[in-house]
Amino acid sequence: MAQLRVAETALRGNLHLRGVDAVAGAHMERALAHVREAFIAINETGHARTVKQLADDTERVEKLLTELQQQPPPGVTVKSNRI
């Protein structure tokens, strides 16, 4: 458990470093999710997701966030340029 805490702390700290590109940040976010799932697997037997389930869930959340970022904020009307 102590090693998982060290890993979590290191990953969190590295996410806020200057100069970390988006790809490295995405990998660290994914690694942090796996570390957190390991805590669950150890502490709550039978409640952890498989690695595939975690990866699938993470991908679904990432896709949803991307879609939300592409939508205009509430109350903003986007006009069509059609004539």
Q: Is the pTM of this model over 0.85?
A: no
- Which pLDDT score is estimated for 11? 94
**Average pLDDT over all residues of the chain:** 87
- Which pLDDT score is estimated for 28? 92
pLDDT in tens, 56-76: 998 899 899 888 888 877 777
Three-state secondary structure string covering 41-71: HHHCCCCCCCHHHHHHHHHHHHHHHHHHHHC
pLDDT in tens, 22-34: 899 889 999 999 9
Both tokens of 3, joined, read 């090693």
Three-state secondary structure string covering 2-13: HHHHHHHHHHHH
Extents of the domains making up the chain: 2-70
pLDDT band for 83, please (50, 70, 90 cuts). Answer: low
